Chain A
C-alpha cells in the first residue's frame, strides 16, 4: 500500500469523491490491517457464511419458477412416470424446475447441499468454539447468536424441504402438526393457526404459501441480521488465537486482512462453492420425483428428515407411548417430551454453559487465548457427553435404516437406544475426563523429563535408557499455556469479609462444583530440579486420592 507513484486519475478521482463524502480512508486504513490468526479450525464458521451466500443466490433462482400453491393440477410435464397424476402446483412446479428448466435440477441440488453443509459447518464451528473455550468472556453474546442461528437454520430447513409438497415433506409436516397439537391447552389452536384449517393444507391451501413466505423472507432476513451481528461483534472483539510462542492474551498473532487473509478467505469461498457444486453434480439429493406427490394415506419406509432434524426424529422414535388424561384433556408425553426435552437440554444447556462455567470457576477475566481441551477436563467431558447424547438420538432417528442395512432387529435398536441415551453420556464424560487428565500428565512429564528422542543409550554398566530432549520453543509455549487451577474457591477476601454467594445451599453447591472442576488438575510447570518436581507430583497425587 505504500507505493511511491501516484495512482492514475481514473482511480484516484472516484476514490477521492467517495472519501470526501464518507471518510472511508480512515476506516479502511484501520480495518484493512485487522489481524487474523491462522488455523484451519478457525475457517469452519466461514463455510457456513459462504454456504449461506450460495443459499441466497440459488434460492432466488428457484423462486423464479416455484409456485407456492396447493392448487390441484394434472401433471403433463416431461417426467413420464407421473404424467396424468393429480398433484399440487407446488409439486408440479418443483418437477418443472427439476426436468424442464435448464440447470434447474443442478440449482435445486446446489441449494439443498448448501443447506446440508451450512448446518454441518455451524455444528462443527460450535464444537470448535466449545472445546477450546472460545465462548468465554467477552464472547458469550456471539455464542448465543450462534445457538440462535443453528435453531433458525433447523426451522428454515424444515420449512424449505416442506415446500415441494412431496411425500416426504408431507410426512414431515404431519409430524410438525402432531408436535403442535401435543402442546397442552393451546396445541390445537396453534395447529389450526399455523395450517389455516385442517391438515394437510388448511381450508384454502394456506400452508404452503405461509411456509414459503417464512422460508424466503422472514427467516433468511433474521439469519442475515444475526450473521451480520455475529461478524461485527467478532470484528470488534478480534479473533481468539491458539496458544503458541509469542501469543498472549493481549495480542493477536496472524496475518493482516489485506492482502493475506482476504486472499485466503476469498479462495475459501471458491472452495466452498466448488465442493457444493461437486456434491450437487455427482450426488443426487431429495429426488422428489421418486417420492411422489403428498398423499395423507401413503408413507414410505425410511422416511427421515434432513440430518439436523434427525435428533428430534430419533427422540420421537425411542419415546415410550406415554399419555395422561386429566380434566378431559390428553397430555401426549409421547410427543411433547421428545419434541422439547432433548433439544432443550442440549441447546438450553449450551446457552447457559458460559455463565454456568463463570459461576463455578469464578473466572470473570477476558480470554483471548483459547484453552486446550485437555486443560479443562470437565468442560471437555461435558461436551463429549452432549455429543454422545445428540449423536445417539441422531442415530436413533435412522434406526430403521440401521436395522435394514446391518440386519439387526428394529426393536433391538429401539431398546438399545433407550438405554444408551442414559448410559452413553455418562460413560463419555468419565472416559473423556480420564483421557484429558492423562494428557495433562503427559504434558507434565514432558516439562519434567523432556520429549522422548527415540535414541536408546547404553550406559557403561550395560543398562539401557532412552534419551530425552527438551521440548522445542513451540511445544513449550503450547504446553505452558495451561493455567494451573487452584483447588479452593476464595470464600473470603483479604480483609476476611466472606465473598458474596459463598454461603447458603447455592453457595455450597458452587463450592462443590468448583472443587470438582479443579481437584484433580495436574499442574504443568517448568521444573528446575527434578527432585522438587517428584515431591510436588507425589503430594498432588495424595491430594487426589
Chain B
C-alpha cells in the first residue's frame, strides 16, 4: 500500500494508468468479442467464395464471347462480337440469363428467349410426390437461384450498374392500370402490339410477345431498365419507377383479362379477323348453299 502510494506520485504514474487501462480494455474486448470478429471474417470469406463462384460461372458460360475480363470481344475487322459487361449491372444479367437468352446458342439478328440452361434454370418443377425427388429438385432450384445471384453480383462488382428491382417495385397489383395503358400505347405498343402480342422489327429482329405468363414482372422491369437487344433503354428519368410499375400492371392485367367477345383470335388485330371471315364465315355459307341447292323438292322431282 505504501509502495503504491509512493508510486502514484511518480511522474510516469499517469501514463502507466492509462496504458494499464488500455491494456485492460484491449484484453476485455478481446475476451468478449472474438465471436463477431470471426463471423465477420467468415462472412467476407463466404462473399469471396460467392464471388469466386460467380466468376467461375462467368468463365464457364460467358467468357468465351464476352472475354476473360468481361471487356467484350471483337472480330478480325474490329466489329464487336459481344459487348463489354462492365457496368451493365445485375439487372441486365438477371434479365438475359433468367429468360434463357444468355448464354446464347448462336449469334443471329436477335437472340431468342429459351429455357435457361440447367445451371440457371429457376423454373424447374418441384411439386413431385416422391419426397426424394422433390428434395433433389428443390436443391437444384436453390442452387440455380444462388448461381444466378452469384453471377449477377460478380458482374455488378465489375463496374456497378442497375440493380435487380425489389418485389414491391414490380408488384402488378399496386400499379395504376389506366396510366400504364396510356404509357404502354405511347412507348411500347409500336413494337410489342397493343396488348403485347409481339411484332416484327427491321432486319430480322422482333419484339417478343409479353402475353405469355412466363414473362415475369421482374423481367419486364429489367428490360425497360436495361434495354436488351433492339429495345431502347427507359431509364428512371424517362419512365419513373412508378410509371414502370404502371406499365407492368397494364401488361399483366391485360394478359390475364378474358376476352368478353369470344375467342381473341390471337389479339393481333384485323388480319386474323379477315382470315376468320373468309375461312370460317364464307366457308360455312358456301356449305349451307351447297346443302340447300342439293336438296330436290319432292313435289317437283318428276317434272
* Bound-state Cα–Cα, A401 to B250, Å: 23
Given contacts A105-B260, A409-B204, contact A255 B181 (CB under 8 A): no
Once bound together, how far apart are the Cα atoms of A135 and B176, in whole Å?
A: 60
Q: Is the CB of A301 within 8 A of B288?
A: no
**Cβ 8 A contact of A81, one of B203, B207, B250:** B250
Whether a CB of chain B sits under 8 angstroms from the CB of A200 is: no
* Interface-centre pick from B109, B273, B285 (highest chain A CB count, 10 A): B285
Which of B53-61, B96-104, B274-282 forms contacts with chain A? B274-282
Contacting residues, chain B, for A355 (C-beta < 8 A): none
B212 at the interface (CB under 8 A from A): no
Question: Shortest Cβ distance from B191 into chain A, in angstroms?
Answer: 6
Cβ A255 vs Cβ B194 within 8 A: no
Contacts of B281 in A (CB 8 A): 113, 116-117, 120, 275-276, 279
Question: A81-B177, A117-B285, A275-B285 are known contacts. Are A302 and B269 too (CB-CB below 8 A)?
Answer: yes
| Consensus secondary structure, chain B interface | helix
> Is there contact, CB below 8 Å, between B181 and A81?
yes
Q: Please give the number of chain A residues whose Cβ is less than 8 angstroms from any Cβ of chain B in the complex.
A: 73
Within 8 Å of chain B (Cβ to Cβ): is A58?
no
Residue pair B285, A121 in contact (C-beta under 8 Å): yes
Contact across chains for A47 and B274 when beta carbons are under 8 A apart: no
Interface residues of B in 225-276 (CB under 8 A from A): 250, 253-254, 257, 259-265, 267-271, 273-276
Query: In the complex, which of the residues A99, A281, A284 contacts B265, with contact meaning CB atoms closer than 8 Å?
Result: A284
- Bound state CA distance, A105 and B192, in angstroms? 26
B207 near A301 (CB under 8 angstroms)? Answer: yes
A3 on interface, CB distance cutoff 8 Å? no
Neighbour of B181 across the interface among A85, A281, A303, A305, CB < 8 A: A85
Interface residues of B in 176-216 (CB under 8 A from A): 177-178, 181-182, 185-186, 189-195, 197-204, 206-207
Whether B262 contacts A284 by the Cβ 8 Å rule is: yes
The answer to whether A300 touches B203, judged by C-beta atoms less than 8 angstroms apart, is: no
B271 with A300: CB separation less than 8 A: no
Interface membership of chain A positions 474-510, coded 1 if the CB is closer than 8 angstroms to chain B and 0 otherwise: 0000000000000000000000000000000000000
Contact A43 B289 (CB under 8 A): yes
Please indicate the chain B residues that have their CB under 8 angstroms from the CB of A305 in the complex.
Answer: 270
In angstroms, how far is the closest chain B Cβ from the Cβ of A396?
12
Instruction: Find out whether the CB atom of A298 lies under 8 angstroms from the CB atom of B292.
Output: no
Majority secondary structure of chain A interface residues (helix, strand, loop or mixed): helix
The yes or no answer to B5 lying at the interface (CB within 8 A) is no
Partner of B276, one of A41, A283, A300, A304: A283
Could you tell me the distance in whole angstroms from the C-beta of A309 to the nearest C-beta in chain B?
Answer: 9
> Bound state CA distance, A404 and B203, in angstroms?
12
**Contact mask A249-282 → B, CB, 8 Å, 1/0?**
0000001000010001001100110011011111
Closest residue on chain B to residue A298 by CB atoms: B185
Is B284 part of the contact surface with A, judged by Cβ < 8 Å? Answer: yes
Q: Are A301 and B192 in contact (CB under 8 A)?
A: yes
Q: How far is the CA of A280 from the CA of B265 in the complex (A)?
A: 12
Q: How far is the CB of A454 from chain B (nearest CB, A)?
A: 25
B200 touches A39 (CB 8 A): no
- Please give the distance in Å from A279's CB to the nearest CB on chain B: 6
Q: How far is the CA of A276 from the CA of B277 in the complex (A)?
A: 9
B270–A306 touching, CB < 8 Å: yes
Given contacts A38-B293, A84-B178, whether A281 and B262 have CB atoms under 8 Å apart is yes
B288 touches A268 (CB 8 A): yes
Q: Quick check: A307 and B181 within 8 Å, CB to CB?
A: no
Q: In chain A, residues 39-65, which have Cβ atoms closer than 8 Å to a Cβ of chain B?
A: 39-44, 47
> Does B34 sit at the interface, judged by CB under 8 A?
no
Q: Does A513 belong to the interface (CB within 8 Å)?
A: no
The residue from B177, B269, B282 contacting A303, defined by CB atoms under 8 A apart: B269
Residues of B within 8 A of A80 (CB): 177
How many A-B pairs have beta carbons closer than 8 Å: the answer is: 202
Task: Tell me if B293 and A302 are in contact (CB < 8 A).
Answer: no
Decide if A151 is an interface residue (CB 8 Å cutoff). no
Among the listed B189, B190, B271, B273, which residue makes an inter-chain contact with A286, where contact means beta carbons less than 8 Å apart?
A: B273
Nearest CB of chain A from residue B299's CB, rounded to whole Å: 9
Q: Which of A38, A82, A109, A398 contacts B271 (CB 8 A)?
A: A398
B254 touches A290 (CB 8 A): yes
State the CA gap A286–B257 with chains docked (Å): 16
Closest A residue to B274 by CB, please name it: A307
B206-A290 in contact (CB<8A): no
Interface residue A193 (Cβ < 8 Å from any Cβ of B): no
Query: Which one, B199, B275, B286, B293, contacts A264 given CB within 8 A?
Result: B293
* B282 and A299 contacting across the interface, CB-CB below 8 Å: no
Interface string of A388-413 (1 = CB under 8 A from B): 00000000001111011001011110
The 8 Å CB contact of B277, one of A117, A287, A301, is A117
Residues of A within 8 A of B186 (CB): 295, 297-298
- Point out the residues of chain B lying under 8 angstroms from A81, CB to CB: 177-178, 181, 250, 253-254, 257
- Does A285 touch B at the CB level, under 8 Å? yes
Give, as a whole number of angstroms, the nearest-CB distance from A347 to chain B: 19
CB-CB under 8 A for A400 and B261, given A113-B277, A297-B186 = no
Of B194, B203, B264, B284, most A-chain CB atoms within 10 Å? B194
Report yes or no: B292 in contact with A267, Cβ–Cβ below 8 A.
Answer: yes
Residues of A within 8 A of B207 (CB): 301
18 sample A-B contacts, Cβ–Cβ < 8 Å, listed by A number = A38-B293, A39-B293, A81-B250, A121-B285, A168-B194, A264-B292, A271-B292, A275-B288, A284-B263, A287-B264, A290-B195, A290-B254, A301-B192, A307-B270, A400-B200, A401-B200, A407-B206, A411-B203
Given contacts A167-B194, A279-B276, A404-B198, 7 further A-B contacts (CB under 8 A): A109-B262, A167-B189, A168-B194, A264-B292, A275-B281, A298-B186, A409-B204
Which residues of A come within 8 Å of B, CB atoms?
38-44, 47, 80-85, 98-99, 105, 109, 112-113, 116-117, 120-121, 124, 167-168, 255, 260, 264, 267-268, 271-272, 275-276, 278-287, 290-292, 295, 297-307, 310, 398-401, 403-404, 407, 409-412
